[in-house]
């Protein structure tokens, strides 16, 4: 059974992108095929949470080879998308030191609960739960439509 949503998404205006791709590029280093975050609908500095999105399409690099005839977004890319949202929260709310990069240090308690076909917009939720000098832990979730398809802890390490 999925956990309750980390953020009350009924309060999010999904018609308005608060932080676009150009602003994300100023913070996150990912480019080209590995830009897994297209925008952020909401960033809450007070509770260190964000709601972002990744639009998928038939042109995505993984479609051709990840289950031909029934393409599905790979789970590792869903986790990467969540990690990139965590990185944005970390770099803009928690540690704004220029030049800091937040890399994956681990994933815990991950559950894949559904599929993400091409054409679906993946809604991502991240909420920083714990931070120390050399690590941050964020709770994350992803939705396709109104269904939770991913949840887990993303552990990041600044370097």
Catalytic residue among 30, 32, 42, 66: 66
Question: Between vectors from CA 80 to CA 78 and to CA 83, what angle results, nearest 5°?
Answer: 115
Q: DSSP letters along 84-129, please?
A: HHHHHHIIIII---TT--EEEEEEEEEEE-S---TTPEEEEEEEEE
Q: Mark whether 133 is an active-site residue.
A: no
> Is residue 18 within a helix (H) or strand (E), and if so which, with residue range?
none
- Sorted by sequence, the CB contacts under 8 Å of residue 63 that are 6+ apart come out as 57, 71, 118
In this structure, are residues 155 and 107 in contact, taking their beta carbons and an 8 Å threshold? yes
**Hey, which residues are catalytic here?**
66
């Amino acid at each position: 059974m999925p956990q309750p949503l980390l953020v009350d998404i009924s309060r999010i205006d999904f018609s308005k992108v608060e932080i676009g791709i150009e602003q994300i590029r100023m913070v996150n280093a990912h480019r080209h095929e590995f830009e897994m975050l297209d925008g952020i609908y909401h960033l809450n500095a007070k509770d260190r949470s964000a709601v972002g999105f990744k639009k998928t399409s038939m042109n995505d690099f993984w479609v051709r080879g990840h289950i031909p005839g029934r393409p599905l977004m790979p789970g590792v890319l869903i986790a990467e998308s969540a990690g990139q949202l965590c990185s944005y929260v970390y770099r803009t709310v928690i540690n704004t030191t220029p030049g800091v990069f937040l890399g994956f240090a681990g994933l815990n308690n991950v559950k894949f609960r559904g599929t993400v076909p091409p054409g679906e917009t993946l809604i991502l939720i991240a909420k920083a739960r714990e931070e120390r000098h050399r690590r941050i832990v964020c709770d994350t979730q992803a939705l396709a439509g109104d269904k939770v398809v991913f949840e887990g802890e993303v552990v990041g390490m600044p370097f």
